[in-house]
Chains A and B, each alone.
Chain A
Amino acid sequence: MPSTLHPLTSLTAAGCTAVITTAAGCWPLSLAVACAAAVLAARADVGRRVLAAAAAILLPLGLSLLMLHGLFFPEGRTVLAAWGPARVTAEGLAFALEAGTRTGACVLVLLLFSFTVSAPDLVAALAARGLPPQFGFVLASALTLLPAMAGRLEAIRAAQEARGLVVGGGVVSRLAAVRMQMVPLVLGLIEDSGSRAQALDARGFGSPGPRTAYRELADPPAHRRLRAVLLLLAGAAVALRLWTSWPDAGLL
């Protein structure tokens, strides 16, 4: 369900939350932000998709953090267990927890934004602020590309299955299936992009000069004030972080 917020407001909110969480560097806050994002995603009916995408990004990352910092953290003093050169230290685990929750919070917040923002609204809002329309188009295409490709792959899979191609459980069989599906997918995308480029040219997309917008977006003063406050808060969080870290950095 697309968000009813002005797209720049939700973009600012997502960006500032990510900045503040990163600047704060405090795992309870990161965890709270991640949970809040998950709850909001569930309320917007995109919970499953956001969590699936987040899992695809965060699981490998979390594992590598555990491997790197959980087992090999040179500054670690409190050794909990050791196998040869690998030592599980309390400090290493704390660092992995810190980094993992921080990244998790940022990823969830940004995924929540990309799954709930209305791409046409975002493009209209950016164009109204003087951003080149080509940029807006590329952004909107990127936001709609994954769902479009998923739909297309599904059609290709069904078409090939109907031809009698059965994907087995083995790795080799799955890799062969990927090759079979990629050929029509890539050829199709290339052909589509060729004719779409011609169509866009003919519809004046590449022409210079001023543009107008058909879509009208309400941007209430309250939203503008909220964005200003969020940007101020993010700036303050970064400044505070720099200020508190600076003396330490200077001593090193």
Chain B
Amino acid sequence: MTSTEPAAALGAPMTSTEPAAALGADAVLAARIGTFSFHGETAAALRDIEICVRPGTLTAVLGGSGSGKTTLGKLLAGWLRPGHSGTFTGSLAQAGEVLEFSGGHDDPRINPSAWSDRVGYVPQDAAAMLTTVRSTVAEELAFGLENRGIARPDMVRRVARVAELTGLAALLDRDPATLSGGELRRLAIACAVIQAPGVLVLDEPLASLDAAGIIQARNLIGRLTGAGTAVVVLSQEADGLARSASHWLVLDGGTATAVGPPRELIRSPELARTGTVIHAVTHTAVTPTPVAVRDSARQPAAVPALELEGVGFSFPRADGTGGEPLLRNLGLAVPPGGIVAITGRNGAGKSTLLRHLNGLLRPDTGDVRVSGTTIAGLPAGRVAASVGLLFQHPRDQLFERTVLREVSFGLRRLVGKDARAKAHEALDAVGLAGEAGVHPAELPASKQRLLALATVLARQPAVLALDEPTVGMDRHGLERLQHATAAAAARGVGVVMVTHDLAYARANTHRVLALDGGSLREL
């Protein structure tokens, strides 16, 4: 597949013998990407990719972190405009109309509004799709229609129809800011669907959703393809959704390395080379349990690394009175070297529980003890010396100019002259030793998460608490995470991780607990 092949090849990816006229015969969207590079960058972000989608089909674009999936999705959907966002050579075709780009000034211009009427895009961060100034779900949905001057009665009908299709009918009067992760994702998809595009590009549509959210999102995608919409899913997991696609495109280093039906590619070396996470169809663990984890499983020690006893908590209501308890008489003991996973539906209180481990939240009843000592009365910043907590958004924790400075920050005060060695050791543990001089903001999301992990590991806490550490991680990132946590556990650190990824939890932890009704039970 090269950039000089005729646009005709778009009609059937990887077969470049068809004439140009065949392009739009039954395709709603086709693209031949010679190169696409962002302004100011010499290296091409994308090159040599051909993709073609037909009505009512599901296509999966698979690849690891930084493989170019999001750039491809945004280019297809007009979020990245040739000439405006970067230099593009190749062609884009939709509804039988072919636009040729040579990277020059006289290239055609894409109108993002008109383009999105035909190709919708939903970013991984669903909240980025929303205006933030609309007070109800219905008004957020109507925003795109208002901008197109649709008459109000028609607008009301379309809002109701799309809400029904996306399962938002009962939420139309809710404030978008109060929606759960799954509801927000469906609202973002609905905002794109309401413009009735023939093609919908979804970037990691299942990321950070709980089991119920995943089922709803998959049902929605099924209904959309059933109604004739072509759906393109960008994913770093070959999960059940990707496997139900009729066509796969494997991206690696910004280029398409394989194209074809899933059954042909699932065991292909091209897919194996990427960072794509390959799940077993049954959604059970496929990663063999690392020996280091099992070896480090210890008998409960006399003094647990972490112990919660009778913890109860409720967020105060606006009027100052106590609300419905989120945690009730909750108990947990993690021995040194133990790794515990906590799972549960969105909103069950998992992140709230994690915030109790380092004193960011204080229990209404009960006690939290770290290495046998209560943390009651200690400020969170002091508890952090023995409990390292990683949040879901690693970039919130990073502020230095280089990766090495980030890990070294405040370390000298803690460990004295060994600081530099400890910093390098921590970077090595998460596989970032070669990127010590890079600016943290330039790292892809999965490496930012690993860097945040390194900043905590370097401080050698007794307890490591991780909030959804697998979200946004490709296979390489997951392997690093797995090694780093197993190595920490082998040194006697107690690890608690909150995750929706049951397969990962079962393969890499000693206990899997569910937070349900405010307390923990074994799974």
Contact = CB atoms under 8 A, between A and B. Distances in A.
A129 interface: no
Nearest to B389: A162
A137 B388 contact: no
B195 to A, nearest CB: 8
Nearest to B155: A214
B150 A212 contact: yes
Contacts of B173: none
B381 A213 contact: no
A120 B137 CA distance: 12
Contacts of A163: 384, 388-389, 397, 452, 455-456
B143 A203 contact: yes
Contacts of A159: 391, 393, 396-397
Contacts of B380: 158, 161-162
A101 B146 CA distance: 44
Contacts of B143: 203, 205
Interface stretch (B128-136, B163-171, B248-256, B470-478): B128-136
A214 B142 contact: yes
Interface residues on B, range: 35 or more
Interface centre among A160, A179, A203, by most chain B C-beta atoms within 10 angstroms, is A203
Given A120-B133, A207-B148, A158 B360 contact: yes
B460 to A, nearest CB: 11
Nearest to A182: B399
A209 interface: yes
B500 interface: no
Nearest to A138: B133
Contacts of A155: 391, 393, 396
A164 B398 contact: no
B87 interface: no
Interface stretch (A18-26, A76-84, A104-112, A193-201): A193-201
B521 interface: no
Contact of A202 (B113, B151, B459): B113
Given A195-B128, A200-B131, A215-B139, A162 B113 contact: no
Contact of A212 (B123, B139, B155, B452): B155
Interface string A193-237: 001101111111111011111111000000000000000000000
B146 A211 contact: yes
A144 interface: yes
A156 B396 contact: yes
B223 interface: no
Interface string B208-247: 0000000000000000000000000000000000000000
Contacts of B146: 211-214
A188 B395 contact: yes
A165 interface: yes
Indicate the size class of the contact surface on chain A: 35 or more
A62 interface: no
Given A162-B391, A211-B146, A214-B155, A202 B78 contact: yes
A165 B410 contact: yes
Interface in B446-468: 452, 455-456, 459
Q: Which of B77, B133, B452 has the most CB of A within 10 A?
A: B133
Contact of A141 (B111, B133, B358): B133
Nearest to A215: B139
B149 interface: yes
A133 B385 CA distance: 50
Contact of B133 (A137, A165, A199): A137
A187 interface: yes
A28 interface: no
B381 A201 contact: no
B301 to A, nearest CB: 24
Contacts of A192: 128
Contact of B149 (A148, A203, A212): A212
Given A180-B399, A203-B191, A137 B139 contact: no
Contacts of A118: 135
Interface string B386-418: 001111010111111000000001100000000
A198 B191 CA distance: 14
B116 interface: yes
A203 B395 contact: no
B491 interface: no
Contact of A161 (B79, B130, B152, B360): B360
A81 B401 CA distance: 56
B118 to A, nearest CB: 11
A144 B133 CA distance: 7
The 9 A-B residue pairs whose C-beta atoms are closest, nearest first, are: A166-B381, A204-B147, A214-B142, A164-B384, A162-B389, A183-B399, A140-B133, A202-B116, A159-B396
Interface of A: 118-120, 123, 133, 137, 140-141, 144, 148, 155-156, 158-167, 179-181, 183-184, 187-188, 192, 195-196, 198-207, 209-216
